[in-house]
Amino acid sequence: MLIGTVNLLQSRADEAIRWLEKALSVNLELAFAHGHLAAAYALEGDTHRAAAELAEARRLSGDERFASLARLRAARSWGVPKIRTLYETTYFVGLRKAGLPEE
């Protein structure tokens, strides 16, 4: 999953998809992998698959973190400012395109 996340943060959504799908082929219960895959699909323009992955992330998370971008941001630390900026410009942009509301 980490390789997929790094590819996503470096705006290589196609490579992110490949690695995230591989991670999920081993363990379908990784809510964050589904969330990252939702963002990557959305960035590639596949909003149907992105919405399905976002729905799966919501189901698996067991909490409300995937209810909105505000909740997701509050759910964990997103790293040092440089890494947080990468999340803002890739992951969160993709999740917005996948249908995750701001609030």
pLDDT digits (tens, 9 = 90+) for 40-95: 999 999 999 999 999 999 999 999 999 999 999 999 999 899 999 999 999 999 99
- CA–CA gap between residue 22 and residue 20 (Å, rounded): 5
pLDDT at 28: 96
pLDDT of 64 reads 94
What would be the CATH architecture of the domain defined by 2-98?
A: Alpha Horseshoe (1.25)
Residue 37: both structure tokens together: 């895959």
Q: Where are the domains of the chain?
A: 2-98
**C-beta of residue 39 within 8 angstroms of C-beta of residue 91:** yes
What is the helix, strand, coil percentage profile of the chain, to 5? 75, 0, 25
Contact call for residues 53 and 41 (beta carbons, < 8 A):
yes
The span from the CA of 88 to the CA of 99, in Å, is 15
Q: Give the CA distances from residue 95 to residues 9, 26, 33, in Å, rounded to whole numbers and listed in that order.
A: 13, 23, 13
pLDDT 10s digits, 1-47: 899 999 999 999 999 999 999 999 999 999 999 999 999 999 999 99
